[in-house]
Amino acid sequence: MSRIDLNKKYNSECEKGCNKEERQKKAENDTCMMVKSQNDNLSVRCVGEWAEDKIYLLHQYFGIFAGGMKKKWPLNYIEICSGPGICINRQSGFEFDGTAISIIKHEQFQHINKAIFYDYDNNVVDTLNKRISHLNLSHKAIARYGDYNNPNSICAELKILGPNCLNLILIDPTDCSVPFSLIEKITATLKHVDLIINVATMTDFNRNIQMAFGDPKRAEKYIRFLGNGSYFSSSENIAYCANKNYPKLRESFRKHYAHSLENIGYKYFDFTSIRNYYDILFATSNPKGIEFWQKASKTIDSQGQRSLDFGI
C-alpha cells in the first residue's frame, strides 16, 4: 500500500467559501478567473471538497486496469469534460491535481498508447495542453476541443485509435446533460470500451426531477441522458414523484440508465456514491473489469483514508 500524491498545495489567493452566486461572478465554466495555480501560474477549476474522493477512486482503478491489461491489449484513455488539469478546493483553499493530470502522472500511464482529453472550453483545452507539454508527454497525450452534444465530431477523431484496443473512458459532467447518443456512438466506434460516468443523482437530479415530471421541456434533458422516455412514463415513478420519494426515484433512475447500457452490450455495473453528492457509475462487458473496479472502490473508506494497491 502507498499513498497517492496529488501535489496538494495551499493557495492563498483563494477566498474560500464562495457561494453559488459568488462563484458565478468569479468563475467561467467552473474555471476560476481570480486564482492561478501556485505551481505553474495557469488556471484552476473550482471544486467542492468531495472531488478528491472521485480522483482517488479513478487513480486507483486506472492503476489496476493498466497494470492488469497491459500485456493483453493496446490501451487508450479518454476523458470527456476534462477540465484544466488542476483543481482548487473552495472550502480549504488547497489546490491539487485533477483527473487528467493525476492520470498522466500515474506510474502505469507508461502502458497507455494514447490519451485524449476533451473539453468544450477552448481556454481549458489550451491550459491542459500546456500542462501536458510541461510534463513532456505531448507525444502520447493531447487535449482537444469536444462538445458532447456533437458525438459525431468526437467520434470522427476517436476512429484513429482503431477497433482493436481496450479503451477506458471517463465522462465527467457536472449534471445529467450528456446525451446517451454519445455513449452509443463511442461504443460503436471503438468496440472495446469500459465506462466511468459521473451521474449527478444527488445534485442536479434532486433539484430538478420533480419539476421534470410535470414539464416536458425539463424532462427532455433527462430523456436524452437516459436514452429513452420510459422513466417518465412509468406509473411507479409517477407515484414516487407525487409522494416526493427521492430515494426510490434515484434508485429507479440508476436502473433505467443501466438498462439502456445493457441494450448496447454492457453486462456489469457498479454505482459508487461520492459523499452523497453524486454517483460514479462503472460499466463493462467483461467480468474482470467489474472485479478490478470493486477492488478499487474498497480503497476509499468512511474516514476518507485512501491507499493504493497495484497487485492483480
Residue 306: band (very low, low, confident or very high) from pLDDT cuts 50, 70, 90: very low
Residue 305: band (very low, low, confident or very high) from pLDDT cuts 50, 70, 90: very low
> pLDDT per residue over 156-196, tens digit each?
999 999 889 999 999 999 899 999 999 999 999 999 999 99
C-alpha cell at 149: 452534444
Residue 24: band (very low, low, confident or very high) from pLDDT cuts 50, 70, 90: confident
Residue 1: band (very low, low, confident or very high) from pLDDT cuts 50, 70, 90: very low
pLDDT of 31 > 60? The answer is yes
pLDDT of 276 > 90? The answer is no
How confident is the model over 91-114, as a mean pLDDT? Answer: 95
pLDDT score, position 303: 36
pLDDT of 224 > 50? The answer is yes
pLDDT score, position 239: 97
% of the chain with per-residue pLDDT over 90: 79
Distances (CA, A) of 4 to 54, 115, 308: 13, 21, 7
* Domain spans of the chain, in order of start: 50-84+98-297
How confident is the model over 108-123, as a mean pLDDT? Answer: 96
pLDDT of 3 > 70? The answer is no
Name every residue whose Cβ is closer than 8 Å to that of residue 93 and which is 6 or more positions away in sequence.
10, 11, 12, 14, 16
pLDDT score, position 275: 84
Cβ burial, residue 311 (10 Å; 0-12/13-18/19+) = exposed
Angle between helices 51-69 and 287-297 (to 10 degrees): 140
pLDDT score, position 223: 98
CA-CA-CA-CA torsion for 67, 51, 82, 271, nearest 10 degrees? 60
Please give the model's pTM, rounded to 2 decimal places: 0.92
* Domain boundaries 50-84+98-297, corresponding CATH code: 3.40.50.150
Identity of the amino acid at 104 = I
> pLDDT per residue over 145-154, tens digit each?
999 999 999 9
> pLDDT per residue over 61-73, tens digit each?
999 999 999 999 9
Q: Is 99 helix (H, G, I), strand (E, B) or coil?
A: helix
pLDDT score, position 299: 66
Distances (CA, A) of 140 to 76, 84, 125, 194, 285: 10, 17, 16, 20, 27
pLDDT score, position 229: 96
Q: DSSP letter string over 221-248?
A: HHHHHHTSSHHHH-HHHHHHHHTT-HHH
Q: DSSP letter string over 138-180?
A: TTTEEEEE--TT-HHHHHHHHGGG-SSSEEEEEE--SSS-S-H
Which residue, 5, 13, 80, 6, is CA-closest to 46? 13
> pLDDT per residue over 46-94, tens digit each?
998 889 999 999 999 999 999 999 999 999 999 999 999 999 999 999 9
> pLDDT per residue over 230-275, tens digit each?
999 999 999 999 999 999 999 999 999 999 999 999 999 999 988 8
pLDDT score, position 22: 80
Instruction: Flag the least confident range among 110-114, 168-172, 202-206, 223-227.
Output: 202-206
